[in-house]
Amino acid sequence: MTDNTLPGDIFQLADDITVHRMGYGAMQLAGPGVFGPPKDYDEAIAVLRKATEMGIDHIDTSDFYGPHVTNKIIKDALRPYPDNLTIVTKVGAKRDDRGNWLPAASADELRHAVRDNLDNLGLDVLDVVNFRIHSGEDPSSPSKDSIAEPFGVLAEMQRGGLIKHLGISTATAEQVAEAQAIAPIICVQNMYNIANRGDDELIDSLARQNIAYVPYFPLGGFSPLQSETLNSVAQRLATSPMGVALAWLLQRSPNILLIPGTSSVSHLQENVAGASVELPQDAIEELNSIAG
């Protein structure tokens, strides 16, 4: 498969970055629970190399995956990096020795996290850094706190030449606006899928500004009834539920970029093939009806 066959066309992420809308999320390359080393290191290497061979030029990662695991695998697999590869990382959280997800948004913690990402990826400057807003409770639930102070620290590091571009993750529309008052952002990464559409207005607002929206958990938070509808559509179209979910996201808005994760080469290929399905209007309407 060549880059010409990736689904979803391309998106200009920034003046100096154009990516295919079909990307790859490296989170699942770490061990169970995104903690510790992978079960199969060679397969993890193979997944990353296959992704770039298929034309995927946008990889999402973080040094708190593992921690430190996925970034080191990316470096081992792909460095020296292809000129067209964009690596997007995130800071603002950390793991304790039991694998719990904890907020890490002090100035010292953010500076340390940026340095760790640089070191473990083997880079002198990071393409994109998302500030992961952590509620301290449900990791996927946005906090309503001000992000001015921590985002300002990252903006300072951007001015210092360690970061090219900034984004935010698990953010409200108000926090997006707050960040934009401090420094330009090129992407927002939130939980969003067919069944969880609380960000519909935010996606449309970002699209008007040509800012990317990057949804995670494309199959997260589905009720049994919603899953039944998704499975029915997938069966009718002779593809997988994940494929339908990804294809729906690509057709939802042109500023949506995909970062499905897997630790398997075969699943990577299935995800790309599934996202290539053109959903007919009746399928879209049926899927739209299951939104919570």
C-beta separation of 10 from 256 below 8 A? no
pLDDT confidence of residue 3: 43
Over the stretch 172-217, which tens digit does the pLDDT of each residue have?
999 999 999 999 999 999 999 999 999 999 999 999 999 999 999 9
How far is residue 103's CA from residue 184's CA, in Å, rounded to a whole number?
23
One-letter identity of residue 186: I
| Residue of 65, 81, 192, 216 with catalytic role | 65
State the pLDDT confidence band at 140, using cuts at 50, 70 and 90: low
pLDDT at 252 over 90: yes
- Residue 80 preceded by cis peptide, ω within 30: yes
C-beta separation of 241 from 195 below 8 A? no
Which string of b and e fits 70-94 if b means at least 16 CB within 10 Å? bbbbbbebbeebeeebbbbbbbbbb
Sign of torsion over alpha carbons 161, 156, 110, 217: negative
pLDDT at 4 over 70: no
Helices 148-159, 173-180: inter-axial angle, 10-degree rounding = 40
How far is residue 165's CA from residue 131's CA, in Å, rounded to a whole number?
11
Of 5-14, 17-26, 132-141, 182-191, the one with minimum mean pLDDT is 132-141
One-letter identity of residue 120: N
C-beta separation of 206 from 256 below 8 A? no
State the pLDDT confidence band at 134, using cuts at 50, 70 and 90: confident
Over the stretch 228-248, which tens digit does the pLDDT of each residue have?
999 999 999 999 999 999 999
pLDDT confidence of residue 226: 95
One-letter identity of residue 131: F
Is 65 among the residues known to form the active site?
yes
pTM: 0.96
Paired strand residues for 145: none
- Site of tokens 């927002």: 188
pLDDT confidence of residue 143: 84
pLDDT confidence of residue 33: 95
Question: What is the pLDDT of the chain when averaged over all its residues?
Answer: 95
Over the stretch 70-98, which tens digit does the pLDDT of each residue have?
999 999 999 999 999 999 999 999 999 99
Domain with CATH 3.20.20.100 in the chain: 22-191
pLDDT at 258 over 90: yes
The two tokens of residue 288 are 């739209």
CATH architecture for segment(s) 22-191 = Alpha-Beta Barrel (3.20)
Over the stretch 32-67, which tens digit does the pLDDT of each residue have?
999 999 999 999 999 999 999 999 999 999 999 999
